[in-house]
Chain A
Amino acid sequence: MDESVPALIRIHPRDNVLVLTRTARAGETVRFEGRAITLEAELPLGHKLAAEPIAQGEKVLKYGLPIGTATEDIPFGGHVHVHNLKSDYLPTFTHEAGHRFAEES
């Protein structure tokens, strides 16, 4: 693995998640802005790690925009995925009876 290539990028300055630019092995240490993150499990390109501690109930921002809400406290470097991030959209999207597009008249 070429260690000179950054393994993580922050897409938008407002983002509180980082995106893996390549597959990272279990036990591998990747760095972002000098801080080390050691991965517990192998994660492929495109997966997200917390850029800062994210509290339960806080919005997760990618592309500078909310992609959902954290369902538990996530530490710096923690894997952010279906186990701790919930869509703000899908509950209303999937239940036709309660479905309402915001402020639709």
Chain B
Amino acid sequence: MEPFQAYPRGDGSKGIRNVVAVAYVIECARHVAQKIVGRFDEREVHLFGWSGCYPNEHGAQIMERLCTHPNVGAVLLVSLGCEGFNRHVLKERIAASGRPVELLVIQQAGGTAATIQQGAAIVEELRERIASLPRVPMEMGELIVGTICGGSDATSGITANPAMGTAFDLLIADGGIGIFEETGELIGCEHIMRERAANPQLGAELVKAVQKARRFYETLGHGSFAPGNAEGGLTTQEEKSLGAYAKSGDSPIVGILKPGVRPERNGLYLMDMIPDGEVRFGFPNINDTAEIVELIACGAHLILFSTGRGSVVGSVIAPVIKVCANPETYERMAGDMDVNAGRILRGESTVQDVGREIYGLMHRVASEEPSCSEALGHQEAVILYKTFEALGPACFPA
């Protein structure tokens, strides 16, 4: 495919969007940040933030990765002033990435109205500073793409997920990076996944990652792994998991990532989003958005999202392409859906054809055509408290 025009960043990365991020570092600053964002075009200025007052290393890392994401050109940080989050370290790291960054502390700036006024002026200036950036060509093989399924039904594993897997194979064949996730939904196919690992050490790590998910969910009493769910014709646990696993395509798995870790070499990665150590802070994937944000924090330029029942969510920073698995859902919610993979069930298309269509759409969205959720203004974002240990060398085979 033809190269498209991208935004070069000071850290060497290339973005497919040129967003000014307004990031609050505590829920207490969210309203002010939201009012600042509300004065601008929703496609140009995005809002996200960290809600808690207690500091968390993972939360700080995700904030940093989002603020220095390739699609982000400049950042305004909004702080109340007394929160636990270390805003100074975040500001320094954003500046070190070559991005313009400003910080407003509400307690010092004179309260709500004064901060909104100053913030709006700063964002206007940041917009102008990054608007004139020269564009550079970018190839499909330079893209990082994440994949997720949400609002699944019996059709997801038959149509949308394998079609997205085909698109992933095309991306990886072109030299790109694909990231799949949700180890909790891979329970039952870890032995199959292990055979796709680049080497046996990585294979063992993949099995361990799924085993960790099983322990975590058992402790929390999560019910989605209960055996014997025969709804929609699913017979076995491995059959159910394989439907979700189909999103990953057929390429070899070259590594494991944790949320916020950026892949360095090309190929297919599993993101292990289950926290390490004892179970704490609650569910690791409270909603689809939490998983999307973690994929974006790994550097994903765009997200492929399959849905059968009909999810409408999008995301801040990175466009979300919605692939609808169920033809009846597509008819009801066509305005939210970028691709009708349900055509496969009606014999109007094949998995391979829909996969190629998705890949073509990825190219158009990377070339700044808005996805449906993007055009509709969806900008969901949530960041969770978690604890991770560093990845060992087996997760990044040479």
Residues of A within 8 A of B (CB): 4-6, 9, 11, 19-22, 43-48, 62-63, 65-68, 80-82, 85-90, 93-94, 101-105
Contacts and interface: CB of A to CB of B under 8 A. Distances in A.
B211 A82 contact: no
B161 to A, nearest CB: 9
Interface of B: 154-155, 157-158, 162, 187-192, 194, 204, 207-208, 210-211, 214, 227-228, 230, 232-239, 242-243, 245-246, 344-347, 351
30 contacts: A9-B344, A9-B347, A11-B351, A19-B233, A43-B233, A44-B233, A46-B234, A63-B162, A63-B242, A63-B243, A63-B246, A65-B192, A65-B242, A67-B236, A68-B235, A68-B239, A81-B230, A81-B233, A87-B188, A89-B237, A90-B227, A90-B236, A93-B188, A93-B214, A93-B237, A102-B191, A104-B207, A104-B208, A104-B211, A105-B204
Contacts of A102: 191, 194, 207
B242 A85 contact: no
Contacts of A66: 192, 238
* Residue among A43, A45, A47, A86 with most chain B CB within 10 A: A45
A96 B115 CA distance: 57
Contacts of A20: 233
Contacts of A93: 187-188, 214, 227, 237
Contacts of B239: 62, 67-68
B235 A21 contact: no
A88 B238 contact: yes
Contacts, number: 106
B63 to A, nearest CB: 35
Contact of B227 (A4, A44, A87, A101): A87
A5 B233 contact: no
B397 to A, nearest CB: 17
Given A90-B227, A103-B204, A46 B237 contact: no
Given A11-B158, A63-B242, A68-B239, A21 B346 contact: yes
Contact of A9 (B157, B210, B345): B345
B187 A5 contact: no
Given A44-B233, A81-B233, A5 B238 contact: no
A87 B191 CA distance: 14
B52 to A, nearest CB: 35
Main secondary structure of the interface of A (DSSP, over half): loop
B378 to A, nearest CB: 29
A46 B154 contact: yes
B131 to A, nearest CB: 47
A78 B85 CA distance: 61
A80 B230 CA distance: 12
Given A6-B347, A45-B232, A87 B238 contact: yes
A104 B238 CA distance: 18
A67 to B, nearest CB: 4
Contact of B242 (A4, A62, A81): A62
* Residue among A4, A22, A47, A105 with most chain B CB within 10 A: A47
Contact of B235 (A6, A85, A105): A85
Contacts of A90: 188, 227, 236-237
Given A21-B346, A48-B233, A81-B230, 10 more contacts: A9-B345, A46-B232, A89-B238, A90-B188, A93-B188, A93-B237, A94-B227, A101-B211, A102-B194, A105-B204
B158 A89 contact: no
A5 B346 contact: yes
A88 to B, nearest CB: 7
A5 B347 contact: yes
A67 B238 contact: yes
Given A44-B232, A101-B190, A105-B204, A21 B345 contact: yes
B230 A67 contact: no
**7 closest cross-chain pairs (CB), A and B:** A46-B154, A47-B233, A46-B233, A87-B236, A67-B239, A46-B232, A21-B345
Contacts of A47: 233
A85 B155 CA distance: 20
Nearest to A88: B238
Contacts of B245: 63
Contacts of A4: 347
A9 B233 CA distance: 14
B200 to A, nearest CB: 9
A28 to B, nearest CB: 16
A37 to B, nearest CB: 15
B328 to A, nearest CB: 10
Contacts of B344: 9
